[in-house]
Structure 1
C-alpha cells in the first residue's frame, strides 16, 4: 500500500522539477532584443536623433540606442560626453512637450 503512494508523489515531484527547469531555460533563450556590441565613435547630429533608449541590463555592454530620422538605430557609449549631451537635450524637449500638453 505504501509503495503505491510513493509513485504518484515521485512523479509529481519530477514533473515540478522538469517544468521549473524548462521555465529557467526558456528565460535564458529569450534574452534582450537589442544589445550594443560596437559603438559609433563620432558625434551624431542632434537634430537627426528622434529618440533614445538604454540597452537592457542583461546585455554584455551598457549602451544607448539612438533612433535616427531615417529609422536607423545606432549604438553609442553612454559615458561619452556627446552622448550625455544628446540625452539631456532629448529629455528637456520631452519635458517641454509634456508641460505643453498638460
Structure 2
C-alpha cells in the first residue's frame, strides 16, 4: 500500500512538473498554401523537441498558422520579418 502511494505521488509530481515546464508549442498539421509577408505580423518558432520543425505565423487578424520551417517561401517570409 505504501509503495503504491509513493508511486502515485511520483507520477502526479512528474505530471505537474511537465505542465509547468513542458512546451506545448508544436505543430501537427501544416498550412498547405503560402502567405505573403504583408499578411504576417509576427512569428513563433516551435520547440526543438517537437516531432516536426515548424513556425507559427501570427497574421494581422491574430490567426495562428502553422507552416513548415524548411519551406522556401517560409524562409523568405522570415527573412522579410527579421530585416
**TM-score of the superposed pair, with normalisation by structure 1:** 0.62
Which is higher, the Rg of structure 1 or of structure 2? 1
Which among 17, 23, 28 is matched to residue 18 of structure 2? 28
Assess if the C-alpha contact under 8 Å between 1:51 and 1:67 holds in 2: yes
The partner residue of 2:56 within 41, 60, 65 is 65
- Alpha-carbon RMSD: 2.1
* TM-score, normalised with respect to structure 2: 0.74
Q: How many residues align?
A: 74
The C-alpha deviation readout for 1:30-63, integer Å capped at 9, x for no partner, is 4323220011121102101000111122322221
Higher RCO (C-alpha 8 Å, min separation 6)? 2
**Which stretches of structure 1, 4 residues or more, deviate above 6 A after TM superposition?**
none
Q: Within 1, Cα distance between the matches of 2:39 and 2:19?
A: 34
Query: Which structure: greater strand fraction?
Result: 2
